[in-house]
A and B are shown apart, each in its own frame.
Chain A
Amino acid sequence: MSKTYTLAGNFCSMGSMTSRRLLVLALLCAIAAAGSACGRGETKPATIKVVIAEYSRDHTRPFWQGLSEQYTKQTGVKVDLQVIDWNSIDQQVSTMIQNNQPPDVLNLNSFSSYAKDGLLYSGDEALSPKTREDFLEAFARGGTYRDKLYGFPILASARAFFYNRDLLERAKVTAPPRTWDELAAAAKKVQALGGGVIGYALPLGPEEAQAEWSIWMWNNGGDWKSGDAWTINSEKNVQTLTFLAALANVHRVTQVNPGKTNRTDGAFQLFKDGKVGMVMGFSPLAAQLDAEGKVRYGVTQMPTNVGAPVTLGVEDYLMAFKKKGNQEAVRQFLDLYYQPEQITRWITAEGFLPVTKSGLARMSGNEKLKPYLDALPSARLAPTTDPVWDKVKLDVQQTIGLAVQPGGDPKQVLDRLQKNAAESGR
């Protein structure tokens, strides 16, 4: 614990604002070092460190706090619970591992790099058979690295196509678009309403560009990989990105600078404000729209250019870190979370989708989730099982937006992504 801040602290240690935070950290470290009762016993650690990403302020901490207390009551092992926001969780976890202080249980949106580094227990080691068998097949596959389950599905979400009913009616679009041609036509009609109304909101800024891009790519028959080889710059994908650039710069039916618009603050915000005809959203957006009650909206499947509609499924993970003597304690913690009433209670509260068979059975009656649950069978996952993806994702986030800016070159951008991906794999 005495080594908790190196790089993360150093990044800001010269800034006026952060020197106080450093001081606090230093004091905390001193205190922790003085009372280092942390697990050195062979049998059972006194404490396990559980790091959870913050999905929402209202639900995440209360649920995990309650679960931790229940766990401590059952096992006598204390839980050092850390709920960390998505913006800084990568940095904080990296710092923990740099300092040889990994968590015992970690929740994140990637897992394969950790599995590759040999830091994790597999499902056979950290989960009871009953828990392992309860995972939905597709999500278990999405957590597999070299034929073993390392990324235990914690929750899932699926994207769906949102449209503003009022704007589409005003623009005389009678049904939501099923094909790309219909989408472009509908977007033109909506945009033509004028007064700052936007046909289709396209967020290709760094926040989540890989998600938006995946959906477009798949609905044109393209993919990230074919077998073991990356196919980011395939002809189909160049065609797809060229289509998106045309939406922005030729038809001009997107918001201004789509390559520089993020999802949450940008596209979703505009849709919630009633300025946007169509956008790709997910269940938490629906929850916000319902709470605000300002926009009359519909949810349907993705428009497609080739074949049946495909959507993006996103799966987040729980990982169990190998540390001396913590296996039993970690297994008990995970088994507690995966009890059907626990996991379902949390996933329902956060507005996400189930990852277990028992959870699916319990949640399938929920009317609000119906469009997303219906979409799940056609949902595809990003190639999270390949450790190279953890870099490709960041690369896509930081570059693909440039292709839809005026003067951008879709082929050149994809060629470069392809080259970087192929080189990282070596």
Chain B
Amino acid sequence: MGRALLWLGPSLLLIAAVVIYPAVQLVRASLGRYSLTGLYLGGVGLRNYARLLEQEALPTVIANTVTWVALVVGITIVISLGLAQLLDASFPGRRLVRWALIVPWAASLIMTAKLFGWLYDYYFGLINRALVAAGLLRAPLDWLGDDATVMGAMIAVGVFVSLPFTTYVLLAGLTTIPPEVYEAARVDGASGWRAYRAITLPLLRPALLVAAVLNLIYVFNSFPIVWTLNDRNPGVAHDTMITYMYKIAFKSALRDVGLAAALGVVNVVLILLAVLAYLRVARGPEEPA
């Protein structure tokens, strides 16, 4: 027992320091009242949670969050399935393409978001210039200022940065499928789309599960993209629950650390529930627990 603890010690300490301690502090902060400067003024029990429900912006923010997460994760997985298939096939230069795909993953999210901010710009942006030149747009669009296009523009960037990781998870899944299975299928007369649906997708299920769950968590918690691309827009019309939390604490007239911490706790609980629900549905009846 003592020896085991000795071995486990460092990682236990680390978990305590980077997971448990902040979590405890977050819950504690959510039960307190703070002055604008951050000074602790005393406990208020669950009142911050009750006040959270009274916030007018909450329904908008929740709807934004659902749209953001569902579309980014959904689109990412569909595109990644195709990309993974492509990278699984052998062609000259495959190694190079595989490396190239890692780039958006390796780049800092804030830098990527800033770069896209310029690409989307109404006056300077390359995207407008290209679309107008190609005749797809008659006049430039203010992608990040127009209420109709902000969310779509942010989702596109969210998908772009999520593709590498997802594609690699699915590619790893594809390489575990033994070629014999396809051979057997061909002998039985199944090929192409039919083989993909009957063999590839079912056998990819574990990889798909991993990709979906991890993306669900990453995308829900993603701060830099929404924060950077939405920085010009007043109010909270395009915020997700993560950026809304930050605005409550530091950038809105509420300027309330306790209320923001309460939302932080709610966020953690929500994402846990979402992941559990997803696992339940996705695992299905196959593996009785």
Contacts and interface: CB of A to CB of B under 8 A. Distances in A.
A26 B14 contact: yes
Contact of B264 (A11, A19, A90): A11
A266 B22 contact: no
Nearest to B246: A11
A90 B40 CA distance: 16
A77 interface: no
A91 B224 CA distance: 15
Contacts of A269: 124
A94 B250 contact: yes
Interface of B: 14, 17-19, 22-23, 25-26, 29, 34-40, 108-109, 117, 122-124, 142, 144-146, 217-218, 221-224, 231-236, 242, 245-247, 249-253, 255, 257, 260-261, 264, 267-268, 271
A401 B242 CA distance: 23
Nearest to B117: A265
Contact of A17 (B26, B109, B251, B257): B109
Interface in A94-149: 94-98, 113-114, 116-117, 119
B36 A387 contact: yes
A256 B142 contact: yes
Contact of A10 (B26, B108, B255): B26
A201 to B, nearest CB: 11
Contact of A91 (B18, B34, B217, B250): B250
Interface in A356-395: 387, 390-392, 394-395
A7 B255 contact: no
A221 interface: no
Given A15-B218, A15-B221, A206-B234, A98 B40 contact: yes
A254 to B, nearest CB: 12
A340 B236 CA distance: 45
A303 interface: no
Given A5-B22, A261-B232, A394-B255, 9 more contacts: A10-B22, A17-B224, A91-B246, A119-B37, A273-B124, A390-B36, A390-B255, A394-B251, A398-B234
A93 interface: yes
A95 B34 CA distance: 11
Contact of B223 (A9, A12, A93, A262): A12
Interface of A: 3, 5-7, 9-17, 19, 22-23, 26, 29-30, 90-91, 93-98, 113-114, 116-117, 119, 196, 204-207, 209, 255-257, 259-262, 265-266, 269-270, 273, 275, 387, 390-392, 394-395, 397-402, 420, 424
A391 B29 contact: no
B251 A94 contact: no
Nearest to B245: A11
Cβ-closest 3 pairs across A and B: A94-B38, A395-B253, A97-B38
A12 B22 CA distance: 11
B17 A26 contact: yes
Nearest to A118: B39
Contact of B235 (A5, A97, A116, A402): A402
Given A91-B249, A98-B38, A205 B264 contact: no
A98 B108 CA distance: 29
A266 to B, nearest CB: 7
Q: Which of B25, B249, B253 has the most CB of A within 10 A?
A: B253
A9 B26 CA distance: 9
A117 B251 contact: no
B206 to A, nearest CB: 21
Contacts of A10: 22-23, 25-26, 29, 261, 264
Contacts of B232: 205-207, 260-262, 265-266
B80 to A, nearest CB: 17
A113 B37 contact: yes
Chief secondary structure at chain A's binding surface: helix
A196 B122 CA distance: 10
A275 B124 CA distance: 11
A424 B36 CA distance: 12
A15 B29 CA distance: 20
A21 to B, nearest CB: 10
Contacts, number: 164
Given A15-B221, A117-B37, A206-B232, A7 B18 contact: no
Given A262-B231, A387-B36, A26 B253 contact: no
A27 to B, nearest CB: 9
A23 to B, nearest CB: 6
A260 B246 contact: no
Contacts of B222: 15
Given A7-B25, A9-B22, A400 B249 contact: no
Contacts of A3: 25
A367 B221 CA distance: 51
B37 A97 contact: yes
A398 B145 contact: no
Contact of A30 (B17, B23, B40, B261): B17
Contacts of B245: 11
A16 B231 contact: no
B288 to A, nearest CB: 31
A402 B236 CA distance: 11
A390 B144 CA distance: 28
B253 A260 contact: no
Contacts of A13: 18-19, 22
A269 B246 CA distance: 27
Contact of A14 (B224, B233, B268): B268
Contacts of A206: 231-234, 251
A23 B37 contact: no
Nearest to B247: A398
Contacts of A9: 22
12 contacts: A6-B22, A11-B246, A19-B18, A29-B17, A94-B37, A113-B35, A256-B142, A260-B145, A269-B124, A273-B124, A391-B253, A394-B251
A196 B231 contact: no
A351 to B, nearest CB: 24
Contacts of A275: 123
Given A14-B221, A19-B18, A206-B232, A420 B37 contact: no
Contacts of B22: 5-6, 9-10, 13, 22
